[in-house]
């Protein structure tokens, strides 16, 4: 592997261990979609970059070879191409509107090769610790994935955390789960519909993964139940002959008030999909846009919430009891930052980092998190601009420390936590970092413009 890092001898020490000074280099954690955009945009702004990736390839969760990858055989994008691709590197225009996960991986690999990012990535290396060092710099301790070999510590001028948030399974505790004799797996362990064949399957969770697996279970399994906590709005992939998200943005563009948009879209769904209750689904307990959008047009019939597990059965909130032999919990993932002390991210008691724009630390000007978002569109465009903003911020700090300090005090440190969503989003654990792409990008635009005003001077 060729890298720009040939270690000169350590001149710094921390707790009796040598620290290798990497000067003005920025450290990126992870080489998934967010990490790749981080490397590219930091390089584009003239920074040296060391990226650490625990796996041996790029693509993060989209790379099905990676042991933490959540993708399953049939996974497709649910946001159409314009909302999914990096804004400065389009997917091939002859690809389908909603590409398959394998295409997404090949797209990410091409991105890495096109912009020559691989020489900056240390594969098979995991980050153990990220600690503040003197002033605003950072000591990053790494070791080979799996814990082999010695730990090494490097000192960086800034750290951009892009470790993703869809890899640490979230398994809720149900009463009696320990006694249950059937198999219980998290959706991250589900790869192929053949695993369901001939089984009696209970799918838990009404998110996009849960719905996809429920549809596959309905086709493959002997019997299938789909348990959700609430009724959702199910958007089809296409309305009026165009990808639904593109139609939505054509409406957003008109800057109509939220209630009118909600009425328009609920009306459109009513006309194109019809009353979901006729398919055995529950009536949504919220208005559209108030939860993460679910894109699925094949789903029918749901059962209630799970009350408790018994030895051979599961009791549901509507009083019925079902007897599955396989339970697939599509109950989502937890963001996790094991290598950072919680106070570094100003995390709340339940571990939610409190960051400006869900990205910029208010306490440490040289620390940011890329991609900690759930968006009503694809993630990549948002991550791209997050990392551009971070790179420009670092540049401004270097070029004009005084103006940078003013900018920091005036915007990043001051601005209160808010949510960048048009609608009042349901307050469930999975929705705290939900954003609307237009509101969020407008906020980022304001930040980037504010930074540019300083750079030009």
Partner 1 sequence: MRLIRFEDWAKPIAPARREVLSATPEVDEGKPPVLFVPGFGHGAWAFAEFWLEHTAGRGFPAHAVSPRGHGGSADGSGASLRAYAHDVVQAAASLPRQAVLVGQGAGALVVERALARYPARAAVLLAPVLGGWATFGAALRGNPGGTLPAIFGGRLRLSRRQLFSRGVPDAVARGYTERLGRASARAQWQLLLHRAPEPPVGDPPVLVMGSPDDRVVPASALTRAARRYGGAPLLFPGMGHDMMLDTRWQEPIDAILDWLEKGGS
- Partnered with residue 13 across adjacent β-strands are 18
115 part of the interface to partner 1, by CB under 8 A: yes
Contact mark string toward partner 1, 39..58, x via CB under 8 A: -----x--------------
What the block records as the tokens of 407 is 């900018």
What the block records as the tokens of 10 is 């350590």
| Cα→Cα distances 113→47, 105, 181, 341, 386, Å | 18, 12, 48, 34, 22
Max distance between CA atoms of the chain, in angstroms, equals 71
Question: Cβ of residue 419: shortest distance to partner 1, in angstroms?
Answer: 18
In the complex with partner 1, which residue's Cβ is closer, 343 or 449? Answer: 449
Question: Cβ of residue 396: shortest distance to partner 1, in angstroms?
Answer: 14
Which strands form 121-123's sheet, in the order they lie side by side? 121-123, 49-53, 26-29, 158-161, 367-369
Among 119, 275, 445, 453, binds partner 1 (CB under 8 A): 445
Say whether 435 sits in a helix, a strand or coil: strand
In the complex with partner 1, which residue's Cβ is closer, 87 or 124? Answer: 87
Among 18, 23, 90, 172, binds partner 1 (CB under 8 A): 90
Residue that is written with structure tokens 């998200």 in the block: 245
215 part of the interface to partner 1, by CB under 8 A: no
In the complex with partner 1, which residue's Cβ is closer, 70 or 381? Answer: 381
Q: CB count, 10 Å around CB of 80?
A: 23
Question: Cβ of residue 288: shortest distance to partner 1, in angstroms?
Answer: 18
Residue that is written with structure tokens 């846009």 in the block: 289
What secondary structure does DSSP assign to 63-123, as a single string? Answer: -TTSTT----TT-B-SS-HHHHSBTTBPPPTTS-SS-BHHHHHHHHHHHHHHTT-GGGEEE
Among 23, 92, 198, 280, binds partner 1 (CB under 8 A): 92
* Stretch near partner 1 under the rule CB under 8 A, chosen from 89-97, 148-156, 287-295, 305-313: 89-97
151 part of the interface to partner 1, by CB under 8 A: no
Say whether 7 sits in a helix, a strand or coil: coil
In the complex with partner 1, which residue's Cβ is closer, 87 or 176? Answer: 87
* Stretch near partner 1 under the rule CB under 8 A, chosen from 114-122, 148-156, 221-229, 347-355: 114-122
Pairing of strands 321-322, 314-316: antiparallel
What the block records as the tokens of 234 is 């199910």
* Stretch near partner 1 under the rule CB under 8 A, chosen from 67-75, 111-119, 258-266, 315-323: 111-119
Question: Cβ of residue 246: shortest distance to partner 1, in angstroms?
Answer: 5
* Stretch near partner 1 under the rule CB under 8 A, chosen from 66-74, 122-130, 240-248, 324-332: 240-248
* Stretch near partner 1 under the rule CB under 8 A, chosen from 17-25, 209-217, 232-240, 436-444: 436-444
What the block records as the tokens of 427 is 């307050």
246 part of the interface to partner 1, by CB under 8 A: yes
Among 48, 73, 82, 124, binds partner 1 (CB under 8 A): 82
Q: How far apart are CA 121 and CA 125, in angstroms?
A: 9
Among 54, 81, 120, 226, binds partner 1 (CB under 8 A): 81
CB 51 within 8 A of CB 39: yes
Say whether 431 sits in a helix, a strand or coil: helix
| Cα→Cα distances 168→56, 171, 183, 329, 337, Å | 19, 10, 20, 13, 10
Helix, strand and coil content of the chain, in percent to the nearest 5, comes to 30, 20, 45
Q: How far apart are CA 238 and CA 207, in angstroms?
A: 19
In the complex with partner 1, which residue's Cβ is closer, 215 or 368? Answer: 368
CB 339 within 8 A of CB 130: yes
88 part of the interface to partner 1, by CB under 8 A: yes
Number of residues counted as binding partner 1 (CB under 8 A): 33
Q: Residue 398: CB partners within 8 Å, gap ≥ 6?
A: none
CB 233 within 8 A of CB 290: no
Question: Cβ of residue 389: shortest distance to partner 1, in angstroms?
Answer: 10
456 part of the interface to partner 1, by CB under 8 A: no
Among 174, 385, 407, 420, binds partner 1 (CB under 8 A): 385
Among 6, 15, 67, 93, binds partner 1 (CB under 8 A): 93
Among 21, 109, 131, 249, binds partner 1 (CB under 8 A): 249
105 part of the interface to partner 1, by CB under 8 A: no
In the complex with partner 1, which residue's Cβ is closer, 36 or 211? Answer: 36
What the block records as the tokens of 221 is 């399994």
Task: Tell me which residues touch partner 1 (CB under 8 A).
Answer: 44, 81-83, 87-90, 92-94, 113-116, 245-247, 249-250, 252-253, 377, 385, 388, 438, 441-442, 444-445, 448-449, 452
């Amino acid at each position: 592997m060729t890298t720009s890092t040939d270690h000169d001898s350590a001149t710094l020490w921390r707790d009796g261990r040598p620290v290798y000074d990497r000067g003005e280099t920025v450290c990126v954690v992870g080489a998934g979609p967010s990490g790749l955009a981080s490397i590219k945009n930091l390089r584009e702004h003239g920074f040296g970059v060391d990226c650490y990736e625990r796996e041996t390839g790029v693509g993060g969760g989209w790379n099905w070879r990676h042991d933490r990858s959540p993708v399953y055989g049939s996974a497709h994008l649910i946001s159409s191409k314009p909302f999914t691709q990096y804004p400065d590197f389009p997917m091939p225009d002859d690809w389908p509107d909603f590409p398959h996960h394998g295409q997404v991986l090949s797209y990410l690999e091409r991105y890495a090769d096109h912009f020559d990012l691989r020489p900056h990535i240390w594969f098979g290396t995991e980050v153990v610790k990220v600690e503040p060092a003197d002033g605003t710099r950072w000591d990053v301790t790494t070791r080979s994935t799996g814990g082999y070999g010695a730990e090494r510590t490097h000192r960086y001028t800034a750290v951009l955390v892009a470790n993703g948030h869809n890899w640490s399974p979230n398994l809720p505790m149900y009463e009696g789960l320990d006694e249950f004799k059937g198999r219980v797996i998290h959706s991250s362990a589900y790869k192929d519909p053949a695993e369901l064949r001939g089984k009696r399957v209970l799918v838990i969770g009404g998110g996009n993964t849960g719905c996809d697996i429920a549809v596959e279970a309905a086709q493959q399994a002997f019997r299938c139940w789909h348990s959700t906590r609430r009724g959702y709005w199910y958007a089809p992939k296409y309305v009026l002959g165009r990808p639904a998200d593109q139609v939505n943005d054509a409406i957003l563009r008109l800057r109509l008030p939220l209630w009118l948009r909600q009425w328009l879209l609920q009306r459109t769904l009513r006309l194109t999909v019809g009353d979901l209750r006729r398919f055995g689904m529950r009536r949504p307990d919220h208005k559209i846009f108030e939860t993460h959008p679910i894109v699925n047009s094949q789903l029918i019939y749901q059962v209630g919430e799970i009350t408790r597990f018994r030895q051979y059965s599961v009791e549901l909130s509507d009083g019925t009891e079902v007897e599955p032999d396989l339970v697939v919990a599509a109950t989502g993932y937890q963001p996790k930052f094991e290598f950072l002390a919680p106070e570094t991210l100003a995390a709340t008691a339940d571990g939610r980092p409190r960051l400006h724009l869900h990205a910029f630390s208010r306490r440490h000007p040289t620390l940011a998190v890329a991609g900690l978002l759930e968006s009503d569109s694809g993630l990549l465009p948002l991550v791209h601009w997050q990392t551009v903003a971070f790179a420009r911020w670092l540049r401004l700090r270097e070029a004009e420390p005084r103006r940078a300090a003013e900018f920091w005090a005036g915007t990043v440190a001051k601005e209160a936590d808010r949510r960048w969503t048009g609608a009042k989003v349901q307050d469930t654990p999975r929705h705290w970092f939900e954003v609307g792409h237009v509101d969020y990008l407008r906020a980022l635009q304001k930040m980037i413009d504010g930074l540019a005003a300083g750079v030009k001077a």
